[in-house]
Amino acid sequence: MPPPHGALHGRRRWPPEPRAYPLHQRGDGQIPGLDMGSPRIPSCEVSGGCRGVVQDSVDEVATSSHAAEANAGGTTEQEGNGSPVAAAAAYSPVVAGVDGIRIRRRPVTGPAVHYVGPFQFRLENEGNTPRNILEKIIWNKDVEVSQMKERRPLYMLKGPLEAAPPARDFVGALKASYDRTGLPALIAEVKKASPSRGVIRENFDPVQIAQAYEKNGAACLSVLTDEKYFQGSFYNLEAIRNAGVQCPLLCKEFIIDAWQLYYARSKGADAVLLIAAVLPDRDIKYMLKICKILGMAALVEVHDEREMDRVLGIDGVQLIGINNRNLETFEVDITNTKKLLEGERGQVIAQKDVIVVGESALFTPDDISFVQNAGVKAVLVGESLIKQEDPGKAIAGLFGKDISHAGAT
């Protein structure tokens, strides 16, 4: 018999607080990595045909939930006795290095702000201070996603998922554009602001911008949905989809939890972004399977050689984005693309038929030519277009020619 509600069980309160499970099969019939919120809703009712895929994923995602939490930079409790793991052991640079991640998922030593009665005080240390802007974003996203999951547990997404418009072929659209123009396919970004630039466009109408992009030759669109740092929203994503824009849509979000994949699909996304600096290999593998279930593509983003080598070792990757922006300094260097595609890596990419997407530091036709010669077949461009008076017409300036269907005929 469990103890009375609210009683202490060992060092933990009963019943336990809701928590986000790591990306593993939980053994209770639910989709691994997702807290359904209601055990009465079978996991496979949410997305048909997932039963076999879920079972296949169990062996691939073999690390224990406690190790996953530690590698993600969180704090866990030991199995059995409920005693807390030392904060220093909860995030080991060695473990994280082996796992390949560079960004801690959450503060190692807990939040910096503490409360004693009515009093608040801040205790900052290396374990609860973000080391760079991406880590700061991820820590905020961890809290944000936990709150969203409490408001909308997975079983509540069943209806929206069934009502969502069918996913469109993101990869196919990129290939078709490249074949049509002979130039890298354009993923044009709908973005109002960024942490490094602040507000980029004051007069911001996401639907009008998306329609202008489509008219002027964009193959796909990237829509920022992070609110705090990019002033984006899922409303923008839905509005663009509902306005009849035919370009497949990438949900540009900071994905740290599989629940976000289902939520993005329910809002009309055709593809999502997975950042290798944030996600361990086993999470990327698992999320690729979820994307396949939902019919979405996944753009896996890398920043350096180590991340590229990790991602090339993962089966099922169709799109790799090379971000030319340094994670620590946020400075850009377009030669990063060439460096990551030289030698054996370029050969492996060709053998795997992976589409490489160039990201950041792309402003001129010479920039487009440089990354294309390096091996890029698509580019994701936001700032250099969105800051122009007419973002749609700015596409011709970026490529040095009209790449719209009208211009190509």
What is the identity of the amino acid at 138? I
Give tens-digit pLDDT for 261-278. 999 999 999 999 999 999
124 lies in the same domain as 189: no
Mean pLDDT of the chain: 79
The answer to whether 390 and 357 have CB atoms below 8 angstroms apart is: no
Q: Of 73, 106, 129, which closes a domain?
A: 129
- pLDDT of 45 strictly over 90: no
Average pLDDT value for residue range 54-78: 34
Give tens-digit pLDDT for 292-347. 999 999 999 999 999 999 999 999 999 999 999 987 777 899 999 999 999 999 99
- pLDDT of 111 strictly over 90: no
Give tens-digit pLDDT for 120-138. 655 666 667 888 888 999 9
Assess if residue 39 is contained within a domain: no
338 lies in the same domain as 226: yes
Assess if residue 22 is contained within a domain: no
Assess if residue 363 is contained within a domain: yes
CA atoms within 13 A on the CB side of 254: 23
Q: How is residue 84 annotated by DSSP?
A: B
Structure tokens that stand for 186 in this block: 């354009």
CATH number of the CATH domain containing 338? 3.20.20.70
Domain of 106 in residue numbering reads as: 63-129
Please classify residue 338 by burial: count the beta carbons closer than 10 Å to its beta carbon, then call 0-12 exposed, 13-18 middle and 19+ buried: middle
- pLDDT of 150 strictly over 60: yes
Give tens-digit pLDDT for 354-382. 999 999 999 999 999 999 999 999 999 99
pLDDT band at 393, cuts 50/70/90?
Answer: very high
Give tens-digit pLDDT for 14-30. 333 333 333 333 334 34
Assess if residue 137 is contained within a domain: no
Q: Where are the alpha helices (DSSP H) in 243-393?
A: 259-266, 281-294, 305-312, 335-341, 344-352, 365-374, 383-386
244 lies in the same domain as 357: yes
Q: Which carries the bigger pLDDT value, residue 60 or residue 220?
A: 220
In the chain, pLDDT over 70 holds for what percent of residues? Answer: 71
Give tens-digit pLDDT for 190-249. 999 998 888 999 999 999 999 999 999 999 999 999 999 999 999 999 999 999 999 999
> What is residue 52's predicted lDDT score, i.e. its pLDDT?
33
244 lies in the same domain as 322: yes
**What's the predicted TM-score (pTM) here?**
0.77
Total domains present in the chain: 2
